[in-house]
Amino acid sequence: MNPNRHLMTIDEFTIYQSRQFSQSTGELSILLRDISLACKLINKQVNKAGLVDILGAHGAVNVQGEEQMKLDIFANEVLINVLRNSADCAGIASEENDDIIVFDDAHSLQSKYVVMFDPLDGSSNIDVNASIGTIFCIYKRVTPLGTPCTREDFLQKGNKTMAAGYVIYGSSTMMVYATQLGVNGFTLEPSIGEFCLSHKDIKCPVDGKIYSVNQGNTNKLDPKLQSYLAYCMENDKETKRPYSHRYIGSMVADLHRTIIKGGIFLYPADSSNASGKLRLLYECNPMSYIVEMAGGIGSTGSQPILDIMPTELHQRVPIFIGSKNMVEKALEMIS
């Protein structure tokens, strides 16, 4: 192997970025390293899913009334345990837990960050070998250092995000994360067990040709949304329609494609789900932060996702997200 390697690991990259700020304490870099460690452990288990008796419904029902798979529980526990041992995490909120978990040992009480995550998104895809993912975001707490963190630290607007990211367990495993300095992607190099910089300074194309939605819900949508979907399917040479339709049912996978290739992803409100299906804190905020830092848009249809002041840990919101021009067109048609 050439010792003058060109590979840059995620740790080297976060350290390089933090050196650009004189006040940086390196705590955010440590948290990102810990999250990447947890995701490597999850990845190992995801890769074995077809081989061991860890596949299938676990029988328990999560706080949204959905059946949990064993891998969801595994991923949740790994993230909680790694972050509990982290030097810099005061507490977590997870899509799989009813309430926040406070880390109240003497060291964690002094930590200035809290982390929210969806440990394994798209879990209905596990037993068909399609891509699934982990989504996370990091906030600076608002309660005083030295005290236990509270719900107030988690119920912050998305525009207060310090860093957000996802890991996609797909044909290769990739971690993409965003800070105010931009969005970068790291592919897991299995031979050294490290995420290595592979997609530098990711920008979401301003336009695209793919729309991503559960089209089976069309009859439950309001007429304006139905017209928008009809517009996506219409033949128009000038606007290069009809668009292609792609929908895996795993937000991380559908949005990863949207960010890289351009497109729009939507999960609107419908007659069965007045606020849509996806969760503000664990899915919509982190994904909107990443997409906006890459130059795209994340909206509920009437306001930017990142401007919402959350009122509940498990709040749901409608979402229209992706390439700037495509989301703007959708918003114009449904307003």
Q: How far is the CB of 74 from ligand AHG (least distance, A)?
A: 14
Q: How far is the CB of 132 from ligand AHG (least distance, A)?
A: 8
| Sign of the torsion formed by the C-alpha atoms of 302, 305, 310 and 316 | positive
Distance CA 331, CA 57 (A): 38
Lookup result for tokens 């990447």: 36
Q: Residue 193 or residue 249: which is nearer to ligand AHG going by CB?
A: 249
Out of 91, 119, 122, 310, the residue judged to bind ligand AHG by CB under 6 A = 122
Provide the 8-state DSSP code for 44: H
Out of 25, 47, 81, 124, the residue judged to bind ligand AHG by CB under 6 A = 124
Distance CA 50, CA 35 (A): 24
249 binds ligand AHG (CB under 6 A): yes
24 binds ligand AHG (CB under 6 A): no
Binding residues among 250-269 for ligand AHG as defined by CB under 6 A: 250-251, 254
Q: What angle do CA 251, 237, 235 make, to 5 degrees?
A: 65
Task: Write a three-state SS string for 133-156.
Answer: EEEEEEEECCCCCCCCCCHHHHCC
165 binds ligand AHG (CB under 6 A): no
288 binds ligand AHG (CB under 6 A): no
Residue 220 CA to its chain's centroid (Å): 26
193 binds ligand AHG (CB under 6 A): no
Lookup result for tokens 């982390």: 115
Amino acid code (one letter) for 75: A
Q: Residue 13 or residue 282: which is nearer to ligand AHG going by CB?
A: 282
Out of 33, 277, 316, 324, the residue judged to bind ligand AHG by CB under 6 A = 277
Q: Residue 131 or residue 184: which is nearer to ligand AHG going by CB?
A: 131
At 326, list the tokens. Answer: 């495509």
Identify the bridge partners of residue 166 per DSSP, sorted by sequence position: 135, 176
Q: Residue 33 or residue 256: which is nearer to ligand AHG going by CB?
A: 256
Q: Are 264 and 320 in contact (CB under 8 A)?
A: yes
76 binds ligand AHG (CB under 6 A): no
Three-state DSSP state, 6: coil
189 binds ligand AHG (CB under 6 A): no
Lookup result for tokens 């509270």: 150
279 binds ligand AHG (CB under 6 A): no
Identify the bridge partners of residue 185 per DSSP, sorted by sequence position: 176, 199
Q: How far is the CB of 214 from ligand AHG (least distance, A)?
A: 3
214 binds ligand AHG (CB under 6 A): yes
Binding residues among 35-64 for ligand AHG as defined by CB under 6 A: none
Lookup result for tokens 């906030």: 139
Q: How far is the CB of 300 from ligand AHG (least distance, A)?
A: 16
Residues of this chain that interact with ligand AHG (CB under 6 A) are: 66, 121-124, 214, 249-251, 254, 277
